[in-house]
Amino acid sequence: MERILVVEDDSFFRQMYADLLREDGYEVETVNSGTRALELLAGNEYQLVITELVIPGMGGIELLKRVKQQTPTVDVILVTGHANVESAVLALKSGARDYLLKPFNHDEFKHTVALCFEQRRLINENCELKGLLNLFQVGQNIANCIDMDRLSSVVFDALTNEVGAGRAIGLFREKDDLLSLREFKGFDEDTAQSLAEAVQKNFSTDWNAGPVARKFKASFLGGNFDTMELSDGLLLVIRSKTNVQGIVVIFNNPGRQLPVAYEENRIVFLLEQSTLAFDNASRYSSARDMLYIDELTGLFNYRYLDISLDREIKRADRFGSTVSMIFIDLDFFKAVNDTHGHLVGSQVLNEVGMLLKKSVREVDIVIRYGGDEFTVMLVETGERGAATVAERIRRSIEDHRFLAAEGFDIRLTASLGYACYPADTQSKLELLELADKAMYKGKEEGKNCVFRATAIR
């Protein structure tokens, strides 16, 4: 019988969780602190720990880390009433199998627990006892990697090491939703790319159906690969419910035939763990993106400014290009809130965000800096281009009737300041300061105008 340890300091929820779990046939023990939980884990065998984010003695995240250090085979589900993205991301990064945000219904709670045990049962069904611990640890390394940029490398290494082959290529889904060559070993890059194209040409219609691991004769790929002693291949498909996340193709070593020493059920297990990892990485990526999105306007928020500006300045330095920064402050916006209320004011800010996005290119970055202040980062744009865009923005705000569709006739103007890199400064921090000062200079000069940083020196 599966054993679950519940860590919850609230007696009502502690009893509720225990009753729900016992209804489904689980053996349950409950404690009210992280310290007591670790004591029980040291002397008893549990398959799952369910813990609150905030518990006496130590935080839920700290308990999660201690559990994974002390008994890495135990799964952890973290429950939190603090419905924020940061806690969910931190839970996944620290090794949680899943997390639940309160409030949740009983069915959701039971389903999450059942899914956890179903994933554990896959290990028992698909792996032989011999070498299981090592395989489980490799699977955990895959499942715990939620950085999409690293995950393809982790999965590729795990699969090729399991098979024991020295030649392989890995195609993984990029942000443009296309599979492309990301990993290779035993080939130079040109050869790996040629093999990737041959694989896509001959196998693409089979990826969404059929077995996830299949052997094939290398001659099936066609092409001029005779000199490389390719005789056999093993096609491994990382497939979720909705699409194919990646393809790893392992080839025979020169002078040898596949199969190399590998067990298919172990490969299938690693592919299943890889699928779970890509799902978790996708969730983490979405959660991370939410950290940089302004909820009101859907624009990027101030957190994204430093990251994106640092990236674009490095790009400008590398390619000898330019970056311009525009600061925008709405004139007399307080009067909108005072006259029409904050709800209308929020709708106006949202409409300003849409105007800004229409006024710039897709590659440019629009950020709600806070309150009624916005910034626009113009990539590969110098002084003349920045002046043109800033004036276009100023005019579009001045000419627009805000919330006209809702029966309002709200008029606004804006003061804008801009600075250019590297023409005005070679410092990222000073670029922001100069644009900000130029904007406030416009405020002082009567508002509804555009100022460049050089005009205030």
| Tokens of residue 438, six digits | 């130029």
Evaluate the CA torsion angle 205, 206, 209, 213 in order and state its sign: negative
CA 239 to chain centre: 19
Give the Cα separation of 280 and 235 in Å (integer): 24
Q: What ranges make up the beta strands (E) of 358-434?
A: 365-370, 373-379, 414-421
DSSP string computed for 279-294? HHHHHHHHHHHHHTB-
Beta-sheet strand order (sheet of 213-217): 179-185, 167-173, 244-251, 232-239, 213-217
The SS3 assignment for 429 reads helix
Element containing residue 88 per DSSP (H, E): helix 85-93
What is the Cα–Cα distance from 121 to 99, expressed in whole angstroms? Answer: 20
Contact, 316 vs 423, CB < 8 A?
A: no
With H, G, I as helix, E, B as strand and everything else as coil, classify residue 47: coil
Contact 323, 381 (CB under 8 A): yes
Containing H/E element for 78? Answer: strand 75-80
Helix (H) or strand (E) holding 155, with range, is helix 148-163
State how beta strands 179-185 and 213-217 pair. unpaired
Per-position b or e across 192-201, b if 16+ CB within 10 A of its CB: bebbbebbbe
Alpha-helical segments (H) within 227-367: 264-291, 302-319, 333-340, 342-359
372 is catalytic: yes
CB-facing half-sphere around the CA of 219: CA atoms within 13 A = 0
For the record, the structure tokens of 86 come out as 């940061």
Burial class (CB in 10 A: 0-12, 13-18, 19+), 295: exposed
Active-site choice (98, 329, 372, 436):
372
Active site residues: 372
